[in-house]
Amino acid sequence: MNGPPSELAPFQKRGERELYAGHVISLGVGTFVGPDGTPFERDLVHHPGAVSVVPVLGDEVILVRQYRASLDAYLLEIPAGKRDVTDEPPEETARRELIEEVGHRAGTLIALAEFYNSPGFCDEHSYVFLGLDLEPAPPSAQGVEEEHMTIERVALDDVTGLIASRELMDAKSIIGLTLALRHLGR
């Protein structure tokens, strides 16, 4: 699915100029040529990728309420984190993040989906897993936001209502929770 349909001429990336390299992202301007030969530029954000986990314990899901600086607000979310350890498989990142954020280890981790968060400008590639057979583990918050987030247990039967009421608006959480409910036959 990465290439164009066979009847279309391909777009061509000709280069990229880096404008900014930060702690999490880098920003560049890419130069491209369209199928008809028209040159154009696009702003590009590069991100190392992320993982998220839907941790289910009995008839509940464990969520976090975390401050998000880009919105200057707290969001209710499934546990998640950056893929910031070189060559670490996504499953291992998911296991690590689950322990760090909610203090649980998943005995079973099931891949639910992979997706691009905002492909119109960003290459962030995300993985979402279902975490089952949870066991307590010592949490180890990383960063000021995690140190001040709260952990909330929500009944699985209440998840669709939280989405409908806009109490839960985070895309990775909506994707993960919807697929987890389907996987669990709920």
CA of residue 137 relative to chain centroid, distance: 22
Mean pLDDT, consecutive 10-residue segments, the chain of 186 residues?
66 96 96 95 97 98 95 96 93 95 96 96 97 93 83 97 97 98 96
What residues form DSSP beta bridges with 104? 136
- φ, ψ of residue 162 in degrees (nearest 5): -65, -35
Give the pLDDT score at 5.
63
The set of residues, in sequence order, having a beta carbon less than 8 Å from that of 38 and lying 6+ positions away, is: none
* Beta strands at 150-155 and 125-136: parallel, antiparallel or unpaired: unpaired
Tell me whether residue 145 is one of the annotated catalytic residues.
yes
Give the pLDDT score at 134.
98
Give the pLDDT score at 31.
98
Q: Break the chain into its structural domains and give their ranges.
A: 12-46, 50-183
Q: Let me know: does 61 contact 79? Beta carbons within 8 Å.
A: no
Topology of the domain covering 50-183: Nucleoside Triphosphate Pyrophosphohydrolase (3.90.79)
152-181-88-47 Cα dihedral, nearest 10 degrees: -80
Out of 16, 41, 145, 152, pick the active-site residue.
Answer: 145
